[in-house]
Amino acid sequence: MNIVDKITAGATSISLFSYITTKLHGRLTDEVYKRNAIIYEPISAVSIVIPAFNEENYIERTLKSILSQNIILKHPDYFECIVVDNESTDRTAEIAKQYCQVISTPKGKLNARHAGIEHASGDIIVSCDADCYYPPNWLNLLLRHFYSPEVVAVCGPHLQEGNLLQIIGSVWYNNLFPLAKQRINGANSAFLKEAYYKVGCFDLSIDQFNREQVVTEEEIVFFNKLTSIGKVIFDLQACCFAPIRGRGKRFYEEYRPETKYQKEVLQGERF
């Protein structure tokens, strides 16, 4: 193969990859931005629980995106939103109080999740993260599945913002890899409160500043428990978006921390 043929083949491969990636991205995002979609009335009261630790730069955007969901605007009486402040040292709680109720709990992400669930009055718990953006039709897509009595939980994709390579990676991962569909995404899921207690809740005794232990308990162990009592749905269309912020303590021990977030990870203040 001469140089011209190699260049032509390379360009064809890149074009094909770009085309497939665009199609996969559309599969994930075509519905979630439709503010005027068919809106489903919730089957019961819904509590949105958001753990937060030092998220003053993101919490307002997150809450605005959640509170402007089309389903909440049409059926506001079904919903409550609870931010669980995890001993923040910045303006996270102050900002959140302008939008919803705020409670406090000792440090630990699962401590916060559990406290929010216990405080919640809804029969359905929606689990969010304080730094994510939720498009206007996201919650409507997520909650529609609870019309089936077999469903105990629903989860949606978690896409990256910012770095192009990581955006592409998250698109392919959520579309093609079975692992994405075999866990409960802590940033983007909903489950029956009754089911949470039925499976024994989260194990709060784990090291909640160990990223691997927290993710395993919150997303994998919890998924396996829920599938033992009912159906867990993975809805590709109900996606949310998260900023690219870091990779955990081990990563930062090798590199000089430059941001407040990175320093908090290295100092064991967040998982």
Q: Is the dihedral of CA 27, 30, 33, 38 positive or negative?
A: negative
- Cα–Cα distance between 154 and 132 in angstroms, integer? 18
- Per-residue pLDDT tens digits of the chain, which is 271 residues long: 554 343 444 445 668 777 787 888 777 889 999 999 999 999 999 999 999 999 999 999 999 999 999 999 999 999 999 999 999 999 999 999 999 999 999 989 999 999 999 999 999 999 999 999 999 999 999 999 999 999 999 999 988 776 666 677 777 777 767 677 888 989 999 999 999 999 999 999 999 888 889 999 999 999 999 999 999 999 999 999 988 765 544 444 444 545 666 666 666 666 5
CA torsion angle for 244, 264, 180, 33 (degrees, to 10)? -50
CA 164 to chain centre: 20
pLDDT at residue 209 in the model: 83
Distance of CA 202 to the CA centre of its chain: 17
Q: What global pTM score does this model have?
A: 0.86
Residue 38 CA: distances (Å) to CA of 124, 149, 156: 21, 21, 19
Q: What CATH number has the domain bearing residue 36?
A: 3.90.550.10
- Residue 4: inside a domain: no
**Enclosing domain of residue 146:** 31-266
Domain presence at residue 6: no
Structure tokens at 10: 């390379």
| The pLDDT value given to residue 160 | 79
- The region that residue 228 occupies, defined by phi over 0 for left and psi between -120 and 50 for alpha, beta otherwise, is alpha
Counting the structural domains of the chain, the total is 1
Residue 153 lies in a domain: yes
